[in-house]
Structure 1
């Protein structure tokens, strides 16, 4: 499958996309809001000419935060547009950068050529940085047509994902070849990107950006105070975090 066929199937599948949004909105009403942004309509006012960073959801947004803050310091004259795909990711981005006026935020439009063009017309980035493995062929192709370099930060690619991408070599290969940099977590993953079509000179092993996160000293102080309240200074504390439906009951039973 090449990009033309992929795009045609995406357009044909838009009714299914609408149904999926509706189903998600039944559990999370925020999915029914800001739908225009998903087609690059009704976007907030944007200052053009900065850096675009895409983090699909909460985890990627948190991981990207140190990199975004470093970009703010290194390029004090540039706005930074941070996009995501989920309401929870949007909430996290807005909370992380509530006091930073140079941070602009909206949803990333769906990977349709017309939506990608409208988005890039509005943002006009000098550089695009995508977190981990959120690869969209039309967005990347539209960047390449405009001479906008695209970097994949904290890149990862499991064997299973590589096999999936490999099944669509006519789509994946040209897309990866259009990208300018892959900052990959491990050498094994770097080799998978090369085998799928990334140019060898664009692939670098940089480790995981998540190790660059720093813990707020006040958070450590609050943790110490909680241990004191629980009389738990000398015993381990088990935390069940990021649980899903049905798992809380299992944790409580344990």
Structure 2
């Protein structure tokens, strides 16, 4: 049971001066009021994904896993951030071999993704980051005692960052991106935003535009390090799995709908039934695993025969849809498809990462909504590595035309591989920035605040 009065009192006793405390006070009170609602939301989400109720104590700063002697903390909120963090985590393990990495998440799918990516790596621990109240933040920091922290992209927690600053734990915001839309939202709370930005020791931004927007919000020491996602390389196991999937499918053309979001599958299935020939197979991969059954029902409603990737059975000649009901296999899905439709871009979700498709040479078709990946999407289109369509119907029609044009597909595939290779190097620049922040004192013994 959480004692909210004690939580508030404990938070207040650990801030270094009244001004930061007063600036964060409305935010902290909002968290206290909202916490019961947050717990109810966990219960609601657990109806479809029971994993939300596992490891519940970690969300309140209670950890059963034993903390290693020397820890680097990396926070990756969900699937996308976790996949983006992979090359950085591996670089950290190589650069500081005496350290372990505590990789924190907020969603079960992010945690499961880390389990797949770092299978067999004993120096990577997976856990949830606690909710952003001072008592929970200090409990997390007391238990793991990280020498420094890395927060991926724009997952900012004011009380946690304040606690890190109080304990002299440097924190880098890595692979940072901030759209104009998000910058406007942050600007509505200028004092809290500026205080939170200043609690960061440094920021590695993806682009100069991201760096400028972050600086305008009060961030200090902002460097343009590039996009770490370009440093992800297709694992050999994923390429082998792609060959195995291709063997199950045979010679049929494969159109991949990757990381689709709610509402998009119905649009894409309708367009697929309208434009694609009966020999074309739609490899449909929803972003969230709790929606696999729902998406299968949508295909059935369209009269499209569906099989599941998890069934490990040969793909029948009259099967129209193969449901990608697995985690951590996106490289394999890209590898066995001739064209990829990028999910999240057909309705206003902001798009998903297209770099993995480019890296394996799969031509990409984007929808109109890519504001979360605007710089990458626009540059990919300019480079000839991706095409853009006005809506889901036009996207499927464009993809079907590409399936019938091998020469054009190969031209786009070559442009995609070149696009991915040209932008590599962000991981090394991020590690160099971290080296400049690393404190001189021993990692295993940070001083307790008085």
* TM-score using structure 2 length: 0.53
Consecutive unaligned residues in structure 1, runs of 5 or more: none
- CA offsets per residue over residues 181-205 of structure 1, 9 Å max, x none? 1110111110011000011xx1011
Distance in 2, matches of 1:212 and 1:222, equals 21
Structure-2 residue corresponding to 1:19: 40
Determine the structure 1 residue equivalent to 2:250: 230
Please give the alpha-carbon distance, in whole angstroms, between the structure 2 residues aligned to 1:42 and 1:158: 35
Partners of 1:64 and 1:156 in 2: CA distance? 14
Conserved? CA contact 1:46–1:104, under 8 Å: no
Whether 2:238 is the aligned partner of 1:219: answer yes
CA distance, structure 2, for counterparts of residue 194 and residue 6 of structure 1 = 22
Matched-pair contact (CA < 8 Å) for 2:78–2:105 = yes
- When residues 33 and 221 of structure 1 are mapped into structure 2, their CA distance, relative to the original with a 3 A threshold, is closer
TM-score in terms of structure 1 length: 0.92
**Partners of 1:127 and 1:24 in 2: CA distance:** 32
The answer on 1:84 being equivalent to 2:110 is: no
* Deviation of 1:220 (Å): 3.3
How big is the shift at 1:102? 1.2
Aligned to 1:167: 188
> How far, CA to CA, are the matches of 2:166 and 2:64 in structure 1?
23
Verify: 1:205 aligned to 2:227, yes or no: no
Q: What is the rounded CA distance, in whole Å, between the counterparts of 2:158 and 2:29 in structure 1?
A: 13
- What root-mean-square deviation, in Å, do the aligned CA atoms of Structure 1 and Structure 2 show? 1.7
Sort the Cα spacing of 1:10 and 1:70 in 2 relative to 1 into closer, same or farther, 3 A. same
The CA deviation at 1:248 is 3.6
2:83 corresponds to which residue? Answer: 62
1:38-49 matches, within 5 Å, as 38-49=59-70
Give distance in 2, aligned partners of 1:96 and 1:221: 16
For residues 221 and 21 of structure 1, do their structure 2 counterparts lie closer, same or farther at Cα, with a shift above 3 Å needed?
closer
Alpha carbons 1:2, 1:168 under 8 Å: kept: no
- How many aligned residue pairs are there? 249
How far apart, in 1, do the equivalents of 2:245 and 2:129 lie? 39
Larger radius of gyration: 2
Separation (CA, whole Å) in 1 of partners of 2:184 and 2:36: 28
- Alignment CA distance shift 1:222-1:134 (3 Å): same
2:116 to 91, 95, 107: 95
